[in-house]
Chain A
Amino acid sequence: MIINHPLLGPRDASEFTYLGDASLINRPDWQADNAAEAFYEYGYLRDNPAGEHQELWYHEAGDRSWLVVTRNTLTHEISKVELARDVARARGRSK
């Protein structure tokens, strides 16, 4: 596969390390009342869609950027690649 890195352009997927569902960015609040339940769902439950999937790839043999890749799990077609840091901020994460 080829991942079109937002900064570097097309790079072979073998340069990347895969983590999984981009929902891993949405780490729950450790102080929330339902923290235990929330962390369980965060850590263990997945949508695992057959189709469009947002997922985290790390450019290990490249610039060390974490990317959010939108990829179709049936065709492997990649429709969008973003820097995970931007996505995290867009989802309201800060420090």
Chain B
Amino acid sequence: MRYSGFRVIKEALTGHKGWKPVWREPEPKAHYDIVVIGGGGHGLATAHYLSKVYGQRNVAVVEKGWIGGGNVGRNTTIVRSNYMLDGNEPFYEFSMKLWEGLEQDLNYNAMMSQRGIINLFHTDGQRDAYTRRGNAMILNGADAELLDADQVRKEHPYLNFDDARFPIKGGLVQRRAGTARHDAVAWGFARSADMHGVDIIQNCEVTGLRIENGKCLGVETTKGFIGANKVGCAVAGSSSRVMGMAGMRLPIESHVLQAFVSEGLKPVLPSVITFGAGHFYVSQSDKGGLVFGGDIDGYNTYAQRGNLPVVEDVCEGGMALMPMIGRARLLRMWGGVMDMSMDGSPIIDRTPVEGLYFNGGWCYGGFKATPASGHCFAHLLAKDEPHPVVTAYRLDRFKTGRMIDEKGVGNQPNLH
């Protein structure tokens, strides 16, 4: 069923009787060409591109719970391609371009809103690093602007310019960045994949990987064995557990990132803003809530909840940066489990097991990557060779010393 304004009117006039389920609820077949583990943003996007771009129709997505129930529905919805390193920027810019055409591609309004993002800096050292980054962005075909303090003040007069412990010296802006309605992204990819024949199988937990003579033959699930020529794993937050079924240890730790939303407010924030002297980033949703977050709690965990010290740390940053939000009330806090990798960058690669492919280690940058991650993972699964923009996302890069470390904090996941 095609969505459009006319359709909405027609259904309204006929009592909304015509709306069909957005996706089927099929039973798993005995065998698929490709089985994608994980019905989150990346898994569903992979299915969409596999079926729509790479012509793979005999595909299943298996999800242990409800689709979109993981990090794609728990993030702060920010979309940007403001990376510094050659290994990253081409990929994220590719993702940005996919975002820009996503709604038409999916025929689903994911409310991609290019409101822009500004990364504020407060020291000369930060300015130099952002200059290097902004230049890298432009040299990679992305957009970037460097604002000085006065220009920042013109665009964001409500920031703390008078009483700041760490005065704002300027900001790196990407105008094409913004936010998207996170749930809609998952639903849109699911709907499209389903329409292209992909079986989305919910409440179907993978309990094992059937591997014989070094080859992966399929997945054992709570709905029985599902055979597959190729199995792709896209289970952020559970990567170590699932790949552990193949006897692999990953360069990944699981950490919780908390996110927060305020009560609904009339428009106050024109763009996404990140604080350079504390752990705080924020945007305002279409519903009016301030959606904000900060640093991960910092300890290994699989629990989707955090603790008070980080809540306080984030709000301290918020008050330091924009004291006008003081009387806005924090409405809800929640946590998502992140695959924190050893260099802060993701992995999209084959594994030592034939027919088993891995997509993970997104740290807390997975949402913005969703379309490109799906596209590139689909490419890898369909063609057995990496898409040109993800050649650096190799599993063995830590052994060879080819880390992609934007922050420069090394092999300590909770610092990335």
Chain A residues engaging chain B, CB cutoff 8 angstroms: 1, 12-14, 18-21, 37, 40-41, 43-50, 53, 55, 71, 73-76
Contacts and interface: CB of A to CB of B under 8 A. Distances in A.
A48 B252 contact: yes
B251 A45 contact: yes
Given A18-B414, A46-B240, 19 more contacts: A1-B307, A13-B307, A13-B309, A19-B412, A20-B412, A21-B300, A37-B399, A44-B342, A44-B411, A45-B251, A46-B251, A46-B252, A46-B253, A48-B249, A48-B254, A50-B240, A55-B299, A71-B299, A73-B254
Given A40-B399, A55-B300, A73-B254, A47 B307 contact: no
Contacts of A73: 254, 300-303
A53 B249 contact: no
A35 B291 CA distance: 47
A53 B252 CA distance: 14
B252 A75 contact: no
B250 interface: yes
Nearest to A47: B249
B298 interface: yes
Nearest to A37: B399
Interface size class of B (residues with CB under 8 A): 20 to 34
B241 interface: yes
B409 to A, nearest CB: 12
20 contacts: A1-B299, A12-B309, A13-B299, A13-B309, A18-B298, A18-B414, A19-B412, A20-B413, A44-B342, A46-B249, A46-B251, A46-B252, A48-B250, A50-B254, A50-B302, A53-B300, A55-B300, A73-B301, A74-B301, A76-B303
Contact of B398 (A12, A40, A71): A40
A44 B398 contact: yes
Contacts of B250: 45-46, 48
A21 B298 CA distance: 12
Contacts of A18: 298-299, 414
Contacts of B300: 20-21, 48, 53, 55, 73
Contacts of A13: 299, 307, 309
B303 A48 contact: no
A53 B240 CA distance: 14
Interface centre among B238, B250, B302 (most CB of A within 10 A): B302
A19 B255 CA distance: 12
Contact of B303 (A14, A20, A55, A74): A74
Contacts of B298: 18
Contacts of B302: 50, 73-74
A71 B297 CA distance: 15
A48 B240 contact: yes
A19 to B, nearest CB: 7
Contacts of B253: 20-21, 46, 48
A7 to B, nearest CB: 21
A43 B412 CA distance: 9
Contact of A76 (B238, B240, B301): B301
A40 B249 CA distance: 12
A29 B412 CA distance: 21
A55 B414 CA distance: 13
A12 B240 CA distance: 29
Nearest to B413: A20
Contact of B309 (A14, A20, A40): A14
Which 9 A-B pairs have CB atoms at the shortest separation, nearest pair first? A48-B240, A14-B309, A45-B249, A44-B398, A44-B251, A50-B302, A18-B299, A18-B298, A40-B399
Contacts of B309: 12-14
Nearest to A42: B411
Contacts of A41: 249
Contacts of B303: 73-76
Given A50-B241, A75-B303, A20 B251 contact: no
A73 B240 CA distance: 13
A53 B302 CA distance: 11
A64 to B, nearest CB: 18
Nearest to B414: A18
